[in-house]
Amino acid sequence: METIVLSVVVPMYNEEAVVPALVARLRPVLDGLGVPYEVVAVDDGSADRTAALLLQHGRAWPELRLLKLRRNSGHQAALTAGLHRSRGDWVVSIDADLQDPPETIAEMLALARERHLDVVYGVRADRSTDTPFKRYTAGAYYRLMRRLIGGDVPAQAGDFRLLSREAVDVLKVLPERTPVYRLLVPSLGFTSGSVPYVREQRAAGETKYPLRKMVALAWDSAADFSAAPLRIATWLGALTFLACLALTAFGIVVWANGTVIPGWTSLFLAVLLLAAVQLICYELGDVTPPR
């Protein structure tokens, strides 16, 4: 079998409206590269005709492969599945809705080959086509991540990027259950470069990222990359312990006055004390090395 030079992973959730436009624009770009390639379209448990349309287009486009997830598992999980099934020496991940211009793939590949880079980020030079709400929430996300994690969070780098086979193989063996690639990839220290691009308008259909999914992404990001959520547990533990001390004092006063249900004070205090100890020890149990 001839070796595949480039794999293009495209996560898709209910994207039936953009499939024709995607195929029409992506295919000439990839055919024009002059190297063997494959497209790994990951159907993230769509409820519409995304998978059927992909199969239909695949009949006339042998490089198009369909990977079908049984249920909607989220953008990052779809990327994970795609990375695991990709076979190319290089792997590009790109959104299905043509907000990431496919033409940029050629630039990414050329840059990676020329400079022997493991990672090339597509960096949004212009987001003016995004809604103000999207720009505001995205800005808040990157600010929060930089506060929690520190300096090396590349701003405006989403999931449009190229990875070398070596980088993909490293990502595949990491133990993360909910990888957030835009944070995970920079944290690995591979040589990298970037290609600016102008974010385009969604070609068709609606965003598949409602607020609920954005919050889930932010939560996974914080939980994977920062000890802040664990510290919340420690502070809760400290507060519970203080409440326990106050109630001990209160309990002694009430007991001295003889108006108490037998056993209640000791039982209640034991419960509170144990809760405090557990919350405080929660952070001590985290053995993840600092990044």
Enumerate binding residues for ligand UDP (CB under 6 A).
11-13, 15, 44, 72, 74-75, 78, 95-97, 99, 207-209
Residue 198's DSSP bridge partners are 126
Kind of pairing between the strands at 6-12 and 90-93? parallel
- What's the min distance (Å) between Cβ of 249 and ligand UDP? 52
d(CA 95, CA 12): 8
118 interacts with Mg ion by CB under 5 A: no
Q: Cβ 97 to ligand UDP, closest distance in Å? A: 4
Q: 11 touches which of ligand UDP, Mg ion, none (CB within 5 to 8 A by kind)?
A: ligand UDP
For residues 154 and 121, is the Cβ–Cβ distance under 8 A? yes
Instruction: Please state the closest distance from residue 237 (CB atom) to ligand UDP, in A.
Output: 35
Q: Is the CB of 58 or the CB of 205 nearer to Mg ion?
A: 205
- Name the residue with tokens 């509170």: 272
Q: Of Mg ion, ligand UDP, none, which one sits near residue 265, judging by CB under 5 to 8 A according to partner kind?
A: none
Q: 162, 108 in Cβ contact below 8 A?
A: yes
Report in angstroms how near the CB of residue 158 gets to Mg ion at its nearest: 9
**Residue placing its CB nearer to ligand UDP in the complex, 96 or 120:** 96
Q: Does residue 130 interact with Mg ion by CB under 5 A?
A: no
Please, are residues 96 and 199 in contact by the beta-carbon 8 Å criterion? no
Q: Which two tokens stand for residue 233?
A: 């547990």
| Cα–Cα distance for residue pair 42/77, rounded to 1 Å | 10
The span from the CA of 99 to the CA of 272, in Å, is 52
Pairing relationship of beta strands 37-43 and 64-68 according to DSSP bridges: parallel
Question: Under the criterion CB under 5 A, does residue 100 sit at the interface with Mg ion?
Answer: no
234 binds, among Mg ion, ligand UDP, none (CB under 5 to 8 A by kind): none
Find the part of the chain contacting Mg ion (CB under 5 A) among 63-71, 93-101, 131-139, 274-282: 93-101
From the list Mg ion, ligand UDP, none, which binds 186 (C-beta under 5 to 8 Å, kind-based)?
none
| Tokens matching residue 226 | 């920062």
Q: d(Cα 105, Cα 191) in Å, to the nearest integer?
A: 18
Q: 184 or 279: whose CB is closer to ligand UDP?
A: 184
Rounded to the nearest 10 degrees, the angle between the axes of helix 211-225 and helix 75-85 is 70
Cβ 20 to ligand UDP, closest distance in Å? 15
Q: How far is the CB of 3 from ligand UDP (least distance, A)?
A: 27
Q: Find the shortest distance in angstroms from Cβ 78 to ligand UDP.
A: 4
* Cβ-based neighbours of 96, under 8 Å, separated by 6 or more: 10, 11, 12, 15, 18, 19, 22, 41
Partner whose binding site includes residue 102, from Mg ion, ligand UDP, none (CB under 5 to 8 Å by kind): none
Interface with Mg ion by CB under 5 A: which residues? 95, 97, 99
